Chains A and B, each alone.
Chain A
Amino acid sequence: QSVLTQPPSVSAAPGQKVTISCSGSSSNIGNNYVSWYQQLPGTAPKLLIYENNKRPSGIPDRFSGSKSGTSATLGITGLQTGDEADYYCGTWDSSLSANWVFGGGTKLTVL
């Protein structure tokens, strides 16, 4: 069971918009930056969003992130078939045993 909670799956048609939620607590999302990772089938995860809403160089502005309280959201607009992947949120957990934690992952299907 993951520390952060994500929906197992989301789906939408090409060209549409989708959002993926990530819920945590005050020891992790509530007091630390959230990052998002895209994992295409058979590949390593790739940094998509960092510091809640910043995009690394090369990531299109179709991808966006936001955070409010102990929850974060990844948004993807103008969906493409190439966006079909697993998406993970991650953050630092500042509890007694400080460590990185992830969500269980969300499978995005572009219908």
Chain B
Amino acid sequence: QVQLQESGPGLVKASETLSLTCSVSGYSISSGYYWGWIRQPPVKGLEWIVSISHSGSTYYNPSLKSRVTISVDTSNNQFSLKLSSVTAADTAVYFCARIYGDNRIDYWGQGTLVTVSS
């Protein structure tokens, strides 16, 4: 069974960089698929942020691209997100997920709340 688990600080100061890591078990990242991040502001809908393949190909949400960095660590079966220059609008639950290309998002992490403080 594929499982994903997000980790990282739950509180980030405005203008700083949000950093999260997703640890994957039950499937080797290097075997394929895309891996990505999706967020959900409080009481709002889902917003896709970015996806990366095991080989490093990436797709970005155009509205966030200038602030987003994603990387894969196949040796530890993890992938990471960095979002720079955060503001209160970046406060959200951040989910990591396995993405079947342009087809479906089939496994999700439980999500982690990141609050941006002023």
Q: Which A residues are within 8 Å of any B CB, using their own CB?
A: 2, 32-33, 35, 37, 43-47, 50-51, 56, 88, 90, 92, 94, 97-105
Contact present for B95 and A33 (CB under 8 Å): no
User: Cβ of A101 and Cβ of B48 under 8 Å apart?
Assistant: yes
In whole angstroms, what is the CA distance A105 to B60 when docked?
Answer: 22
- B60, closest chain A residue (CB): A99
- The answer to whether A37 and B105 touch (CB under 8 A), given A99-B61, A99-B62, is yes
State the 6 A-B residue pairs at the shortest beta-carbon distance, nearest first.
Answer: A92-B102, A100-B48, A50-B104, A97-B62, A44-B108, A35-B104
Sorting the interface of chain B by its residue count into under 10, 10 to 19, 20 to 34 or 35 or more gives 20 to 34
In the assembled complex, B88 has its CB within 8 A of some CB on chain A: no
13 new A-B contacts at CB < 8 Å, known A35-B105, A45-B46, A50-B100:
A33-B104, A35-B103, A43-B110, A44-B108, A44-B111, A51-B103, A88-B45, A88-B46, A90-B46, A94-B102, A100-B48, A100-B105, A105-B46
Choose among B45, B51, B104 the residue that contacts A102 (Cβ–Cβ < 8 A): B45
| A/B interface sample: 17 pairs, CB < 8 A | A33-B102, A43-B110, A44-B109, A45-B108, A50-B103, A50-B104, A51-B103, A88-B46, A94-B102, A98-B102, A99-B60, A99-B61, A100-B51, A100-B59, A102-B45, A102-B46, A104-B45
Interface residues of B (CB under 8 A from A): 36, 38, 45-48, 51, 59-62, 95, 99-111
Contact B45–A2 (Cβ < 8 Å)? yes
Residue pair A103, B106 in contact (C-beta under 8 Å): no
Chain A residues within 8 Å of B105, by CB: 35, 37, 45, 47, 90, 100
Q: Is the CB of A47 within 8 A of B106?
A: yes
Bound-state CA distance A17–B102 (Å) is 30
Residue of A nearest to B46 (CB): A102
Nearest CB to that of A44 among chain B residues?
A: B108
Complex Cα gap A98–B102 (Å):
10
Instruction: Find out whether the CB atom of B102 lies under 8 angstroms from the CB atom of A32.
Output: yes
Instruction: State how many angstroms separate the Cβ of A65 from the closest Cβ of chain B.
Output: 11
